[in-house]
Amino acid sequence: MPREHYSELLALIAVARERSFTRAAAQLGMSQSMLSHTIREMEARLGVRLLTRTTRSVSVTEAGERLLDVAAPRLKSIEAELRSIAELRDVAAGTIRITATDHAIDTVLWPKISGILAEYPQIKVEMSADYALVDIVQGRYDFGVRLGDELAKDISAVRIGPDMRAAIVGAPAYFASHPMPTQPQDLVNHDCINLRLPTRGNLYSWELKKGQREMSVRVEGRLVFNGIYQILNAALSGNGLAYVPEDLVQPHLASGALLPVLKPWWRKFPGLHLFYSRQRGASRAMRVLIDALEYKKS
């Protein structure tokens, strides 16, 4: 089979999986116009329509489904075999793709990964900041990072961080015109800064716990972000109360730039875990990262 035919199949698989030329082009590292041209050439050569395009969506035709049913598993098998052969080398090498939140990347992943790049010059790392609960197999990631209580049962995982608490904080400027909450029910009367979850599209409820009492509070406010660093900055500016990781706000609490709110109710969560597909297993390069990132209690 000519080399360009492999490229066409990979392009078709990407578009079919993403249901979007824009997302597929970004994943393949090519322009959207080049991707469209590749698919059109493939359809013209075969004489059948493989994709149905509208202004809002892309779907696979019956002919496209038939081709994908045969080609996709075989290409996946070839990729797996190439990876296994590459593992026969004496050195760890290859590109490792990781999806995690920006907070996990900044505080856990990058501080340790940066230290091993010099030791393993043939390892490349791509980190994607995302708050969605991404399917790492479908997204073609080697690793994902989630809290311990968010892990599925059919994956392999290793703890990479200690337990963490979610803190509720506000700036002195905010409390100059608002009373300090004394119980969780008071939060409904405050301007709270919300986090929009991309996976479901809804706002994240603030999870609280005191002793054996647990509650989930749906707060209201004028500001909504899809990242905790923006939420932190808004709280520092006095624009409302924030629900963010304690380690992120600890310097601001120490300096007095932020004040703790309902501290007895701050909930502790299982630490961050690095997870990967159990079926695919871990390559030599992946094992290097696992060993470097594994959390060890001091």
CATH says 164-269 is which class?
A: alpha beta
> Residues 66-70: what's their mean pLDDT?
81
Is pLDDT of 61 > 80?
yes
Share of the chain above pLDDT 90, in %: 51
165-211 confidence digits (pLDDT tens): 999 999 999 999 999 999 999 999 999 999 998 766 689 999 999 99
User: At 46, is the pLDDT very low, low, confident or very high (cuts 50, 70, 90)?
Assistant: confident
Host H or E run for residue 27: helix 21-28
- CATH domain 3-86 topology: Arc Repressor Mutant, subunit A (1.10.10)
The CATH T-level fold of domain 94-163+271-293 is D-Maltodextrin-Binding Protein; domain 2 (3.40.190)
Per-residue pLDDT, averaged over 250-276, amounts to 96
With cut-offs at 50, 70 and 90, classify the pLDDT of residue 89. low
**In the chain, ranges of CATH 1.10.10.10 domains:** 3-86
Spatial distance between the Cα atoms of 260 and 171, rounded to a whole number of angstroms? 9
Residue 61's contacts (CB-CB under 8 Å, 6 or more residues apart) are 48, 49, 50, 51, 52
Block residue for tokens 């393949």: 28
CATH 3.40.190.290 in the chain, residue ranges: 164-269
pLDDT score of 81: 61
What's the 3-state SS for 149-195?
HHCCCCEEEEECCCCEEEEEEECHHHHCCCCCCCCHHHHHHCCECEE
